[in-house]
Structure 1
Amino acid sequence: MGLKSVLSRPVAALVHGQYQQWLRQPVATQQRVLTDLLAQGAHTAFGRDHDFGAIATASDLARHVPVRDYEALYPYINRVKQGEANVLWPGRPLYLAKTSGTTSGAKYIPLTKASIPNHINGARDALLHYIYRTGRGQFLDGKLMFLSGSPELEQVNGVHTGRLSGIVNHHIPAYLRRNQLPSYPTNTIEDWETKLDRIVEETLDQRMTLISGIPPWVQMYFDRIVQRTGRAVKDVFPDFNLFVYGGVNFEPYRKKLFDTIGRPVDSIETFPASEGFIAFQDEPGNPGLLLLLNAGIFYEFIPAERFFEPNPPRLTIADVELDKQYALVLNTNAGLWGYSLGDTVRFVSKNPYRVVVSGRIKHFLSAFGEHVIGEEVEQTLREAMAQFSEVDVVEFTVAPRVSNNPAEPSQHEWLVEFATPPRDAPAFAAALDAGLRRRNVYYDDLLSGNILAPLRLTALPAGAFQRYMKSLGKLGGQNKVPRLSNDRKVAEGLLG
């Protein structure tokens, strides 16, 4: 056992103890965070515009600060981007995290001196909690690989700008840098496939112990390893024992990923976003992610079914209930106020507060009034795969298929890229339909009333999703294909 793994245990115990202090007072902790945020934001342009001096409680916040998504907050963010100080947070941000485009173009999320530790410490503490719970820190003595965006940054009106994963790369602690792969020159390669080939070359002869990244892109890396060597990942990297992931639901990828590895490995799920590091899996095997209540973010929760009302209720941590869907709203020390993250969560525990990420508030399928959410289709697919054990899925998405023939009902179309297809495709499709009908009463009613026909299962050729993402310039990195759409844009792109 190396020095790093030995020293990690007392550090893990110390950090775990620090967490217990605020975990015992979650509501008071969140109120303290809100008070601190308001004090900092009071003398900003946003604070003056929204009378922060009159805000003391969450109820006050809801009255003075409307919920906004990026588009609605953009006039303020654009002032920050233009170099103006004291707009959303005191001073100017240290960085702008550039993310996937919206109707305003690419998103630019401010990262401040106060908010950067949230991103760094969240990832660090996820690893330390794993060490505390398991006693296994040996991964620190080997090579650690983080599949991320380029760390090269550009200047936008004097502010360093780039992808969040690339920005965070600059803050990896010195004691881990010697273990880190890929190398800096390789990490700066923009073309994903070229970069992936170089990463394979750099890692093949290394003692890899931890690999981190979004599951579909890690799967691509593993596939290249197998193609190059003709061996399972476990034989190429016998000391690989920890997989860290986030950004998408892992379950649809789990079977194929572990089949490619050749054996189970421990995993840690995280909930990172450019807007803040929200939660991480603090207990191996427990699917709930510990919500970080003491990290410079004051959370609000809107019942998902009421999100699009003119004045929906905005709940605090004290008000939430288990097993209900909530849209997540953030107020942060990066200067995001009443910010709709777009993700939905479901609480699975209140002591401590743990969530699972259940989908995207805008990524639902309700072309016919069914309001199917991401969690429902992912659970349905997982259940069907359990029934058809030969099935391996690479990626999938679901879209409406609207019939132009009054005699033929419309239907959902599941576009699936299989690594191993079902031996009986119609039976597999029927299992998907039955599973979704059990989970969504509106979908069941539509089929019972012959308003919708049973779903159509469309098997896509190998590499379809990769080719589609490449055509958009979004291959690799933090990019994800939406699980659900209310139009045919993604579906036609894949079929084309």
Structure 2
Amino acid sequence: MGIRALLSEPLARYIVQRQQEWISRSIEVQEKWRKELVKKALHTEFGKDHFFKDINTYSDFKEAVPVHDYEDLHAYIDKLKNGEKDILWPGKPLYFAKTSGTTSGTKYIPISKDSISNHIDSARNAILTYIAETKKARFLDKKLIFLSGSPVLTETGGVLTGRLSGISNHHVPGYLKSNQMPSYDTNCIEDWETKLDKIIDETIDQPMSLISGIPPWVQMYFDKIIERTGKKIKDVFPDFSLFIYGGVNFEPYRAKLFESIGKRVDSIELYPASEGFFAYQNSQQDEGLLLLLDTGIFYEFIPVENFFDEKPKRLSIGEVEVGQNYAVIVNNNAGLWGYSLGDTVRFVSVNPYKILVTGRIKHFISAFGEHVIGEEIEKALRYAMERHPEVEVIEFTVAPMVNSENGRLPYHEWLVEFAVEPTNKGEFVADVDRRLTELNIYYKDLIKGSILKTLELVPLRKNTFIDYMRANGKLGGQNKVPRLSNDRKIADELIKINRQ
């Protein structure tokens, strides 16, 4: 066993011990952070505007701090971008994480000296927690690849600015830098396809043990390696033993990824975002993600059905229930206050607090009142794939077809790019639709009441989604296609590209 693996084991035990300490005091720890955040931001512009000096209880906090999205904080962030300080958090941000917003264009999310550890230490702790549970550490002595955005940073108002994955690249611990891949110069290449070819040149003959990235881009990496070598990934990288991912639900990609690898490998799911690193899978025995309650973030949760109310019900961690879908609201030590992430989660445990990410609050289909959410779409597809084991899905999205031709009933249109299509398409569609009616009573009632007809599936040619992402300047990095939409903007563009 090499020195990295050897030294990781006592550190892993220490991290898990610390983890257990805050888990046992979860509600108390969250209340501590609420008080600390308000106290530290007391004299910021936001703190003065929202009368932080008068906040004592959580009820006071909810009264003083409304739920915000990025647009609501835009005026404060513009001041930060102009170089002003003490606006949302004491001083100036350490970084701006640039991220694409659906309504706000490019968003500039502040990361402070206080909050950077949440991003960096949480990623480290996810790996150490895995080591503590499995006693597997030898992968640390081999090569580790992180498929991420460019680490090149610019300046905005005197603040270093870049993609979160690029910022994180500057904080990789020194003891891992010597076996981190790809090289810094390769990581700086902006064009994803050029970058991917160069990554393969650098990694194809290396003892790769850990691969990390968003599943569709990892799959693209695998496909190109298989195309170049004619071998499964296990034969190219016999030491490959751990896959780390986040950003999208893994299940639709699982079968094809593992088929490409040619063997089962352990995996760790992460829940990172520009606004914070929120959770990670802390056990190989279940799929729930441990919500990180002691890293400078005070969480609030709004039941999904109340989210669009004029004054939605906001809950602290001690008030959540297992099985309920919630919209996530964060308050952090970078100056995000009452900030709606747009994500929805479902608690699978409250001892400890563990979640599954179930979708986006604005990513749903309710053209007829069905309110189908991402989790239901993905579960229905997974069910059908289990019943049709030959099927391999590369990517998919779902949209409503309201104005169908020839007077036909409207329906949900599933646009799917298959690696391997179902042998019996009709039975596959029937299985997806049947499972969706079981998961969503409103959808079932609309089908039974002849308001909607059974979904229709449109197979897309190879690389349709890649061509779509390329056309929109979002190929590679942390970008992904929404699983479902309440309009046809994405669907119509995909169909147009599919015909080219």
TM-score (norm 2): 0.98
Residue 253 of structure 1 aligns with which residue? Answer: 253
Cα shift at 1:374: 0.3
CA contact (8 A) 2:328 2:341 kept: yes
Residue 31 of structure 1 aligns with which residue? Answer: 31
Moved over 4 A (4+): none
- Which is further off, 226-235 or 406-415? 406-415
Residue 22 of structure 1 aligns with which residue? Answer: 22
Question: Which whole-Å deviations, capped at 9, do the CAs of 1:145-164 have from their partners, x for residues lacking one?
Answer: 00000000001111100000
1:314-333 to structure 2, matched below 5 A, reads 314-333=314-333
The residue type paired with residue 288 of structure 2 is: G
The residue type paired with residue 350 of structure 1 is: V
Residue 392 of structure 1 aligns with which residue? Answer: 392
Question: Which whole-Å deviations, capped at 9, do the CAs of 1:342-385 have from their partners, x for residues lacking one?
Answer: 00000001110000000000101111110000000000000000
d(CA) in 2 for partners of 1:407, 1:103: 34
Residue 349 of structure 2 aligns with which residue? Answer: 349
- Whether 1:117 aligns to 2:141 is no
1:459-478 to structure 2, matched below 5 A, reads 459-478=459-478
Residue 284 of structure 1 aligns with which residue? Answer: 284
- RMSD after superposition: 0.9
Cα shift at 1:103: 2.9
CA contact (8 A) 1:196 1:221 kept: yes
- Whether 1:197 aligns to 2:197 is yes
Cα shift at 1:285: 3.0
d(CA) in 2 for partners of 1:407, 1:144: 56
CA contact (8 A) 2:80 2:157 kept: no
Residue 157 of structure 2 aligns with which residue? Answer: 157
CA contact (8 A) 1:31 1:57 kept: no
d(CA) in 2 for partners of 1:490, 1:455: 17
The residue type paired with residue 6 of structure 2 is: V
CA contact (8 A) 2:80 2:92 kept: yes
CA contact (8 A) 2:84 2:92 kept: yes
Q: Which segments of 5 or more consecutive residues in structure 1 lack a partner in the other structure?
A: none
d(CA) in 1 for partners of 2:46, 2:406: 53
1:163-202 to structure 2, matched below 5 A, reads 163-202=163-202
CA contact (8 A) 1:268 1:280 kept: yes
- Which is further off, 479-488 or 403-412? 403-412
CA contact (8 A) 2:364 2:486 kept: yes
- Which is further off, 123-132 or 20-29? 20-29
Question: Which whole-Å deviations, capped at 9, do the CAs of 1:61-97 have from their partners, x for residues lacking one?
Answer: 1111110111111111111111110000000001000
The residue type paired with residue 188 of structure 1 is: C
The share of aligned pairs that are identical, in percent, is 59
CA contact (8 A) 1:98 1:162 kept: yes
d(CA) in 1 for partners of 2:103, 2:135: 47
d(CA) in 2 for partners of 1:56, 1:355: 29
Residue 298 of structure 1 aligns with which residue? Answer: 298
Residue 147 of structure 1 aligns with which residue? Answer: 147
Question: Which whole-Å deviations, capped at 9, do the CAs of 1:87-142 have from their partners, x for residues lacking one?
Answer: 00000001000011343320100000000000001100000000000000111000
d(CA) in 1 for partners of 2:288, 2:56: 31
The residue type paired with residue 446 of structure 1 is: L
Distance change (3 Å), C-alpha of 1:92 and 1:408: same
Residue 94 of structure 2 aligns with which residue? Answer: 94
Give the paired residue count: 496
Residue 210 of structure 1 aligns with which residue? Answer: 210
Q: Which segments of 5 or more consecutive residues in structure 2 lack a partner in the other structure?
A: none
Residue 228 of structure 1 aligns with which residue? Answer: 228
CA contact (8 A) 1:13 1:132 kept: yes
Question: Which whole-Å deviations, capped at 9, do the CAs of 1:21-51 have from their partners, x for residues lacking one?
Answer: 1111111000001111001111100000000
d(CA) in 1 for partners of 2:102, 2:235: 43
d(CA) in 1 for partners of 2:248, 2:355: 14
Cα shift at 1:405: 5.7
Distance change (3 Å), C-alpha of 1:406 and 1:45: farther
- Whether 1:412 aligns to 2:412 is yes
Cα shift at 1:406: 8.2
d(CA) in 2 for partners of 1:453, 1:128: 49
Question: Which whole-Å deviations, capped at 9, do the CAs of 1:259-294 have from their partners, x for residues lacking one?
Answer: 000000000000000000000000113100000000
